[in-house]
């Protein structure tokens, strides 16, 4: 059973009310995303509030964190209220599609660790299934919503499995969002790419393409690059 909490250097994530627990994907995205110059941030599908808190630690931004699940919203608010940045993070309990249609706000940064399992069997628990599968939020809806909500020079950052990420790049370009930074996440050296960290803007640029290896060899022997990326957060680094 996963722990009911996960302690980072500057905050703690309690996760007993949330279907999706703290995982490598969320930590990777929260550490990788460029946020130091962002004044306004939207975190789509905030869950426990992990990524919103990581961005708050790394920036001075005002952050809206949206989440469809009511229990997750309660948990995220509890985590945020116990953090040093509670006055900069606002929890919104609403489907992203509705929010994108209703609001006139613009964001310098939109970030998401989204549901992405399109073809696999649903998890038996409805809350976990909703968090893992995109039946409540299609990836194309993230693209269309981000296109509307991003400021002219704003950035969308997302983490996806390799195949979904490749398709996302193509679909985003068709909707006027262009990949400008791509980090290929490999579990070990010479392994196949498992995740794509992707950054999009409204203006085409030469793509910055890099690799990131998580473990240098044996289990839990982390690469220098991964340690450099996450050392401000993990207690064991």
With H, G, I as helix, E, B as strand and everything else as coil, classify residue 143.
helix
Distance CA 142, CA 68 (A): 14
Mean pLDDT, residues 44-59: 97
Give, as one character, the DSSP assignment of residue 117: B
Rounded CA-CA distance 94/115 in Å is 16
Q: What is the pTM of this model?
A: 0.91
Q: Which residues does residue 181 pair with via DSSP β-bridges, in sequence order?
A: 199, 208
194 vs 136 pLDDT, higher one:
194
Q: Which residue bears the tokens 């001075």?
A: 60
Q: What is the pLDDT of residue 116?
A: 63
The owner of tokens 């929890």 is 91
Query: What is d(CA 169, CA 155) in angstroms, rounded to the nearest whole number?
Result: 14
Domain 5-230: CATH architecture, name and number where available: 3-Layer(aba) Sandwich (3.40)
């Amino acid at each position: 059973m996963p722990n009911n909490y996960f302690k980072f250097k500057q905050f703690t994530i309690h996760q007993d009310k949330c279907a999706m627990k703290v995982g490598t994907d969320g930590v990777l995205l929260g550490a990788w995303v460029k946020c130091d110059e962002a004044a306004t941030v939207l975190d789509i599908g905030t869950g426990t509030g992990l990524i919103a808190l990581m961005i708050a630690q790394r920036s001075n931004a005002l952050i809206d964190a949206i989440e469809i699940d009511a229990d997750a919203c309660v948990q995220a608010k509890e985590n945020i209220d116990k953090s040093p940045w509670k006055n900069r993070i606002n929890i919104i309990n609403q489907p992203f599609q509705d929010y994108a249609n209703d609001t006139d706000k613009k964001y310098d940064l939109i970030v998401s660790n989204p549901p992405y399992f399109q073809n696999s069997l649903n998890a038996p628990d409805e809350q976990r299934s909703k968090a893992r599968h995109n039946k409540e939020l299609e990836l194309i809806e993230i693209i269309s919503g981000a296109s509307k909500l991003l400021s002219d020079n704003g950035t969308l950052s997302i983490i996806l499995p390799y195949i979904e990420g490749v398709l996302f790049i193509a679909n985003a370009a068709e909707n006027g969002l262009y990949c400008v930074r791509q980090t290929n996440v490999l579990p070990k050296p010479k392994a196949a790419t498992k995740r794509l960290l992707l950054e999009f803007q409204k203006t085409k640029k030469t793509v910055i393409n890099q690799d990131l290896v998580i473990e240098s060899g044996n289990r839990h022997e982390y690469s220098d690059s991964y340690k450099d990326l996450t050392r401000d957060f993990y207690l064991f680094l």
